[in-house]
Amino acid sequence: MNAITRLTPHMQAYSDEFADNGNINWLPYLMYFHPFGFSSPVVNTDASGFRYTEARNRSYSVADLKGESRVRVLAGSSTVFGIGASTDGHTLSARMTENDPGGSPWVNFGGRSFNSTQEMILFSLHHSKLPMVDEIVLFSGFNDLGLARQPKRYRGEHGAFFMYPDFFNAMAQKKPSRFSRWFGTDTADAPEAPPSLDEQIDYAAGLMLRNLTSWKMFADGLGAKLVFMLQPLSNWVRQTGSPEEEILFSELERRGRFAETYGDILEAHAAQSYSNRLAEGAEALGVKFVDLAPLIARQARPEQWIFVDRIHFTDDGHDFVSKIVLDAIST
C-alpha cells in the first residue's frame, strides 16, 4: 500500500470521478465542470454540479438551498470545492458554517481546476439561483499564477486553463474552419521558454485583478460584502511540513513533479511579491484583501497535519483554516 492510499484513502474518490480523466462534464462557457447529481460517501453534487455543504444538521448547495432565505458565498477553485475533505461536512464552506453559527450558511461555489476567469463566469451563470447574499469570500489566486508559465498562445487574453491540451488537440482534429483557425490548430509548437518570474507575477496579478473588478460589480449589485483571500500553498506557509505532509509530498513529487512544473513561484519571495501586487490592486478597487498563508504560518504547530497535498487541506486542516478565515474577514 502506498503512502497516499494509507494516509488518505478517501482521495481515491476524487481521482476516480473528479480528476482530468474522470467523469467531468464539458460545458459551454466554462469548458468543464463536476459530474451532475453525483453521490458517494465522500462527495456529493447537485443537479448543476455544485458540491453540497453539510452543516448544522442540513445539507444544501447552490442549486438546492432548501428554503434558505439568506446565504454567504465561498467562491474559488478546487480548494473551495473541497479536494482533500473526507465528506461534505469537512469542506471549508461546511466548517465555516459550523464554526460561525450566528450568520447565514456558506454555500460552496468552488470549481475544480478553475482559473479566476472561470470562477467569475461560474458565478455569473448561477448567482440567479441564490436568495439574498450577505457576503462573498473569493478564495483564489494560485491557479492564475501556476498557469502563467504556459506558452503565450495558450494564455491568450483571459488566462490559460487546465486541460487546455485536450481542447486545442480536439480543435486540431476537426475540419478546419475560421473558428478553429482563430484558436490555432498547430499542436507542434516550437519550444518556448517560460516567462521570467516577474513576468509571471505581472500577468497573473493583472488577470486576477481584472476579474476581481467583475466580482466587485457583482457584490455591489447584490448588496454583499466582498473579501478577496489569496489561497495558501504549503510552501508559502512553511518550508517543512508535518511528518505526514512530508511523506505525501515526497510521493506526490515522485509521481507528478510539482516543484518542476511550477518552478520558482513556490518560493517565499515570489509569494510575497505576488501578494503585494494583489494587495495594492485590491485596495485601489476598495476590496478587502487577506493573504492567508502568513496567518496560517503564525498559528500552525510544526507537527500539525494541515495539507493533504501542496494546495488542498485535510479534514483537520479545513477546520483549522476555516477559523482563521472567519477571524480574518470579521476584523
- How would DSSP label each residue in 32-91? EEPPTT---SS--B-TTSPBPEEETTEEEBTTB-TT-SEEEEEEESHHHHTTT-SSGGGS
Q: Per the structure, how many domains does the chain have?
A: 1
**Domain with 259 in it:** 3-149+194-330
Residue 171, domain member (yes or no): no
Euclidean distance between CA atoms 32 and 40, whole angstroms = 20
Distance CA 148, CA 310 (A): 18
Each residue of 244-285: pLDDT tens digit? 999 999 998 888 777 777 778 888 899 999 999 999 999 999
Grid coordinates belonging to 252: 506526490
- Is 169 exposed, middle or buried (CB count within 10 Å of its CB: 0-12, 13-18, 19+)? exposed
> Does residue 164 fall inside a structural domain?
no
Asked whether residue 181 is domain-assigned, the answer is no
Phi-psi region of 170 (alpha: psi -120 to 50; beta: other; left: phi over 0): alpha
- Residue 215 forms part of a structural domain: yes
Q: Which position has the higher pLDDT, 187 or 37?
A: 37
Whole-model pTM?
A: 0.90
Question: Which one is predicted more confidently, 316 or 5?
Answer: 316
pLDDT greater than 90 at residue 170: no
What pLDDT sits at residue 175?
Answer: 56
pLDDT at 92 over 60: yes
Which pLDDT score is estimated for 243? Answer: 95
Q: What is the pLDDT of residues 101-136, one digit of tens each?
A: 888 999 999 999 899 999 999 999 999 999 999 999
Whether 172 maps to a domain, the answer reads: no
pLDDT tens digits for 203-241?
Answer: 999 999 999 999 999 999 999 999 999 999 999 999 999
Q: How many CB atoms lie within 10 A of CB 63?
A: 18
Question: In the predicted model, what is the mean pLDDT of residues 88-101?
Answer: 96
What SS3 class is residue 302? coil
Q: Is the pLDDT of residue 328 over 70?
A: yes
* Structural domain includes residue 169: no
Q: Write the pLDDT tens digit of every residue in 179-192.
A: 444 445 444 555 67
